[in-house]
């Protein structure tokens, strides 16, 4: 029976592309700031961040501050922030950022590091850019929260043995990834595992327990609806194993499931029922020391996993020809930008964010519905054209540098 859990909330908002990028194809302005404003819709990004902050980030974080103090030392939350969302908090909604700082300062929450740009660069053959984006995030987290985390979670829980090797060499002790049935092969996700030959400890997300809240909470056709906190905690306790990993988007609370669904009451009572039933929620700073690995979790690079869609692989971002084509086109520009030593790397990195590729997916069924829910572009065709146009504009800027030499 489980008496320990690890709760991870992912906090991320992308830099969304501006509609009507075709006009940018004929511009020739060399100013970096103008290029950024040409490509990215800052008004929309600001409006969305403020809306989600009002619906989720502010009320949820205040709820945690009010309710975790009673169980301080026994119940701790973990957050993974993209560097992109932290930038937007600093610029547009510092009040939300201050609440997160309060949680961490009071030791009610820990931080888990992810790549700064919430990107797909971990699947590159060369991990140099992957390492750079992680180091940029480590620096920002240390600057904002005054902590240096030793736990890592990749973009969308993307994972394979090579990724484990890289982050182990960078000094991380723990990686959070998905408990995928085909990799577990009948084993229980509620244990700590070893990541291939790297020796790093892995925490495996229990996707059934996590998705009961993240996806099914307000689904009135679900046979367990409505879900109450006492029943949910009972499910956790009755699960076999040492440690249940519950991970989901932080926007689950108040944004994906609106306040009138009862999601905030659920979260409040969930914390209380954990405390009353003696279930400890561990922070990233302590979980790696609490358990010994029970087995090896082997994920070759040609079988990379993630937490996305029913396939739990890379197909959410790289499952279509269009996605692969624009991914390779974007990737091909990195070396050229580096060789030229021009100030376009930040723009290139914003275009590496996984969301841009996620919006292009052609999947149907339940997975397709989720892709369409998150897309701000109306259709996958629009998303594909916008990203291609953005890359064309970036290429023209690079050509401008070359012609001026």
Catalytic residue among 156, 251, 255, 322: 156
Distance CA 65, CA 67 (A): 6
Q: What pLDDT is recorded for position 374?
A: 86
Does residue 228 lie within any of the structural domains? Answer: yes
- What pLDDT is stored for residue 373 in this prediction? 85
Tell me if 249 is assigned to some domain.
yes
* Secondary structure, 3-state, 273-328: HHHHCCCEECCHHHHHHHCCCCCEECCCHHHCECCCCCCCCCHHHHCCHHHHHHHH
Whether 310 is covered by a domain: the verdict is no
**Is the residue at 61 inside a domain?**
yes
Residue 148 lies in a domain: yes
46 & 186 share domain: yes
| 268 and 323, same domain (yes or no) | no
Q: Are residues 110 and 67 in the same domain?
A: yes
- Domain with 144 in it: what CATH number? 3.20.110.20
The reply to whether 369 and 240 lie within a common domain is no
Tell me whether residue 17 is in a domain: yes
Tell me, yes or no, whether 55 and 202 share the same domain.
yes
Q: What is the pLDDT of residue 371?
A: 84
> Residue 155: exposed, middle, or buried by beta-carbon count in 10 A (0-12, 13-18, 19+)?
buried
Both 197 and 265 in one domain: the answer is: yes
**Cα-based angle 45, 50, 382 (whole degrees, multiple of 5):** 30
Same domain? For 290 and 320 the reply is: no
Does any domain span residue 308?
A: no
232 and 374 part of one domain: no
User: What is the reported pLDDT for 404?
Assistant: 76
User: What's the number of CA atoms in the CB half-sphere (13 Å) around residue 115?
Assistant: 29
Q: Are residues 197 and 321 in the same domain?
A: no
- Given a cut of 70, the residues of the chain with pLDDT beneath it are 21-33, 405
Rounded to a whole number of angstroms, the distance between the first and last alpha carbons of the chain is 67
Amino acid 351: pLDDT: 98
Select from 270, 303, 336 the last residue of a domain: 303
271 part of a folded domain: yes
Among residues 273, 303, 333, which one ends one of the domains?
Answer: 303
One domain, residues 179 and 294: yes
Domain shared by 330 and 218, yes or no? no
* Per-residue pLDDT tens digits for 291-347: 999 999 999 999 999 999 999 999 999 999 999 999 999 999 999 998 887 789 999
Report pLDDT for 341: 75
Q: Which residues have C-beta within 8 Å of that of residue 345, sequence separation ≥ 6?
A: 337, 338
> Is 178 known to be catalytic?
no
Same domain, 365 and 266: no
Domains of the chain: total:
2
Last residue of a domain, one of 283, 303, 323: 303
Domain encompassing residue 210 = 4-303
């Amino acid at each position: 029976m489980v008496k320990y859990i690890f709760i991870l909330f992912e906090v991320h908002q992308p830099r969304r592309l501006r509609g009507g990028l075709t006009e940018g194809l004929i511009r020739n302005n060399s100013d970096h700031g103008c290029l950024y404003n040409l490509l990215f819709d800052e008004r929309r990004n600001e409006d969305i961040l403020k809306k989600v902050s009002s619906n989720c980030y502010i009320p949820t974080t205040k709820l945690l501050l009010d309710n975790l103090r009673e169980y301080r030392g026994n119940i701790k939350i973990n957050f993974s922030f993209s560097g992109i969302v932290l930038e937007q908090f600093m610029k547009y909604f510092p009040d939300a950022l201050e609440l997160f700082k309060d949680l961490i300062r009071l030791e009610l929450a820990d931080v888990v590091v992810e790549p700064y740009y919430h990107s797909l660069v971990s699947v590159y053959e060369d991990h140099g850019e992957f390492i750079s984006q992680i180091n940029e995030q480590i620096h920002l987290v240390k600057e904002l929260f005054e902590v240096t985390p030793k736990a890592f979670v990749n973009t969308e829980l993307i994972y394979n043995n090579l990724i484990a090797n890289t982050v182990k060499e960078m000094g991380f002790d723990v990686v959070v990834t998905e408990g995928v049935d085909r990799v577990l092969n009948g084993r229980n996700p509620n244990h700590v595992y070893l990541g291939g030959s790297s020796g790093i400890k892995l925490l495996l997300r229990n996707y059934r327990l996590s998705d009961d809240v993240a996806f099914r909470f307000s689904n009135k056709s679900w046979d367990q609806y409505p879900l109450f906190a006492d029943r949910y905690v009972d499910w956790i306790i009755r699960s076999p194993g040492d440690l249940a990993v519950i991970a989901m988007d932080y926007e689950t609370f108040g944004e994906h499931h609106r306040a009138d669904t009862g999601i905030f009451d659920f979260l409040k009572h969930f914390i209380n029922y954990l405390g009353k039933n003696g279930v400890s929620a561990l922070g990233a700073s302590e979980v790696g020391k609490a358990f010994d690995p029970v087995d090896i979790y082997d994920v070759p690079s040609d079988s990379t996993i993630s937490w996305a869609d029913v396939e739990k692989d890379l197909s959410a971002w790289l499952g279509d020809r269009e996605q692969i084509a624009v991914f390779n086109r974007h990737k091909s520009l990195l070396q050229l930008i580096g060789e030229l030593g021009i100030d376009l790397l930040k723009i290139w990195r914003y275009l590496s964010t996984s969301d841009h590729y996620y919006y292009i997916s052609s999947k149907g069924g339940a997975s397709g519905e989720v892709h369409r829910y998150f897309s701000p572009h109306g259709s996958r065709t629009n998303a594909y054209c916008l990203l291609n146009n953005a890359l064309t504009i970036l290429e023209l800027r690079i050509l401008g540098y070359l012609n001026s030499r």
